[in-house]
Structure 1
Amino acid sequence: MLMHKRHPDDDIAQAAWLYYVGNLSQQEVSKRLGVSRFKVLRMLADAREQGLVRISVEHRTARTLALADKLVEAFSLQEAQVAPVESAKDDDEIARNSVAILASGYLARIASSDTPVTVGLGWGRTLSSMADNLTGVRNSDLTFVSLMGSVTYASHTAPGDVCVRLAAQTGGRAILLPAPFVADSAQACENILSQRLVRDAIDVARGADHALMSVGECCEGAILFDSDIFSAEQIQELRDADVVGDCCGVFYRSDGTVADIELNRCTPCVQPSDMEDMDTVLLAGGAGKLTATLAVLRAGFVKKLLVDEGLAVALLSASEDRRV
């Protein structure tokens, strides 16, 4: 059990995150933190006076900084950032939004380069929220490119949508992978990848400087299982192979190995082996992401991690218990 001594500023920062990022009412923040509503008002006022609250909450608590250091050590990362939100099981949206704000700050940092920058993008709600939270970045030398195929229905979270939105916001350009998320067969996937326009987009994606990716669960109730992307046979294949999660169209078992299944030969995407020279960043928010996030981290290609505090603690506990 990881225990850290709380500092008064940590409580102020957490109150600010819950109120401004989590969109909780002052009464809900009061209940969550176990303090009076008057105390919450005072904490929010202190957060403003101390400059913690701008467009987002900038303060990182001593507790989350310590967690970030432990994550770097436990998973051999180059960097970790932890949003100071202790999410409960029903707070996944707050966790995702908090991680998205970290990611928007990270993207703003890399986008300030004086040289051309290419950013590969996965898909999902956290990446979409990252785009929603990005402000003040203008750089015509930015290129956003899809790392994977897209879905057939319009979606605010689809790779193409996120790429286009970020390009429009920053004055950069978007390159979309003209391919479906999953093909009907391995042969069909090979045929798709042989097309000139697909090859051109994949080549740009493979040469990206940075890759911002999220992780998906492969379990009952997960978006991938409930979205009609897969056939019933493909879902059964995932279950039979004990697949626990995916990242950018690649499916993993809990030990971090890529599952040897037909489905992993049916997704047109940039493979982990293509990412060796990229700055690979994984975004994960919410308690439900634990098993899938562990699997992707164990795969060994992720260099940087952005998570919420609750998930950070769970990841560290699981890393100490190899039964998870």
Structure 2
Amino acid sequence: MAKDDSSKIDQMVRAAWMYYISGRNQSDIASELGLSRPVVQRLIAAAKEEGIVSVGLHHPVSICLDYAEMLKEKYQLVECNIVPTSNDDDETLDNVSFGCFQLMSKYIKNEPNKIIGIGSGLTLKKAINRIDFESPSSKCVALISAIGVDGQCNYYDDVPLILARKIQANYYQMPAPRYATSHSELKTWISMRVFNEVASIASSASVIFVGAGSLNQDTSPIIKDGFISTEEAIDLSHKGAVGEILGRFIDSHGQVTECDINSFVTSYDIRNNSCPRIGAACGQDKRPVILAALTGHWFNGLVTDEATARWLLVQ
């Protein structure tokens, strides 16, 4: 393909993505791409005519495809989906959630008897809300608890339940609080028969989707939702933690940080399962923990935006 043809297709796909996926109007798209509104209109029409757009988008932006291939090689990934970065953070998040939805469709749609391990977080929730198919013979297993130490449930972290309801799968909940309050309490929880039954199902998962959490005091859900305090987050940072995967705090090398809270966590350690473990995350504050998760082999699949992909490639 000639360079000019590739550039034209890139513009076509970007314009279509911004219009159909991000919900932008043509004037905004023209301004961001540096084009006239009639040109944007023609690009969007051409995308439909050439089959790039139906219900969704079926053609990657070429630079995103290039980044995905380079990341797969650098970090030995089985899956990598890179989506366009927008000037608006919320729009970038929506793009990443759409990219995650694409991989969910690949692994779940028309695939009977799947066991799907699922984490928590806004990116996964947005991806799941796009699902328009069922997989009633499948199992959906929560990899992390939404229960606090006092028994109160965090209804913002109902991601596994939403997925199970969407695809009409059997739902398996993590039967313990996210963190125990002592070693003896942890021993009690993890020795329970039902806890081990759920952990066994998680170990049999054929695909896993998880997010990644930063320690940013203004944006981190694990702080905002009350699972750890701001003071604990600061202490974890001083101990070398750069973020968390399913409630486990890890350092820049992807190793579990030595701290009390990590010794009390009940969530499933996804490194125990060799299936595709796809992390979906974006944003500058999450880049260190995404890199750590790749380095420490927590993820062997990734969905992120092109700016984060470019950053990961130079690390």
Q: Do structure 1's residue 253 and structure 2's residue 251 form an aligned pair? A: yes
Report the 3-state secondary structure (helix = DSSP H, G, I; strand = E; otherwise coil) of the residue aligned with 2:179: coil
Q: Which runs of 4+ in 1 moved over 6 A?
A: none
Shift in Å, 1:294: 0.6
Contact 2:135 2:169 in 1 (8 A): yes
Q: Which runs of 5+ in 2 are unaligned?
A: none
Residue 65 of structure 1 aligns with which residue? 65
Residue 240 of structure 2 aligns with which residue? 242
Contact 2:217 2:230 in 1 (8 A): no
TM-align CA RMSD: 2.1
How far apart in 1 are the matches of 2:283 and 2:22?
13
* TM-score, with structure 1 as normaliser: 0.87
How far apart in 1 are the matches of 2:171 and 2:224?
29
1:141-198 C-alpha deviation (Å, 9 max, x unpaired)? 2111001111434434x1xx22222222222211111222223234333322222322
Residue 50 of structure 1 aligns with which residue? 50
How far apart in 2 are the matches of 1:240 and 1:207?
36
Alignment of 1:30-179 (within 5 A): 30-83=30-83, 85-88=84-87, 91-112=88-109, 115-135=112-132, 137-151=133-147, 152-156=152-156, 158=157, 161-179=158-176
Shift in Å, 1:130: 1.2
Residue 18 of structure 2 aligns with which residue? 18
Contact 2:120 2:160 in 1 (8 A): no
Q: Which amino acid aligns with 1:245?
A: G
Report the 3-state secondary structure (helix = DSSP H, G, I; strand = E; otherwise coil) of the residue aligned with 2:209: strand
Shift in Å, 1:286: 2.7
How far apart in 1 are the matches of 2:172 and 2:308?
32
Report the 3-state secondary structure (helix = DSSP H, G, I; strand = E; otherwise coil) of the residue aligned with 2:205: coil
Contact 1:186 1:262 in 2 (8 A): no
Q: Which amino acid aligns with 1:67?
A: Y
Range with bigger deviation, 111-120 or 30-39 = 111-120
Contact 1:149 1:267 in 2 (8 A): no
Q: Do structure 1's residue 204 and structure 2's residue 201 form an aligned pair? A: yes
Alignment of 1:205-284 (within 5 A): 205-221=202-218, 222-275=220-273, 277-284=274-281
* TM-score, with structure 2 as normaliser: 0.90
Residue 322 of structure 1 aligns with which residue? none
How far apart in 2 are the matches of 1:48 and 1:37?
17
How far apart in 2 are the matches of 1:124 and 1:163?
10
Q: Which runs of 5+ in 1 are unaligned?
A: 320-324
Residue 307 of structure 2 aligns with which residue? 310
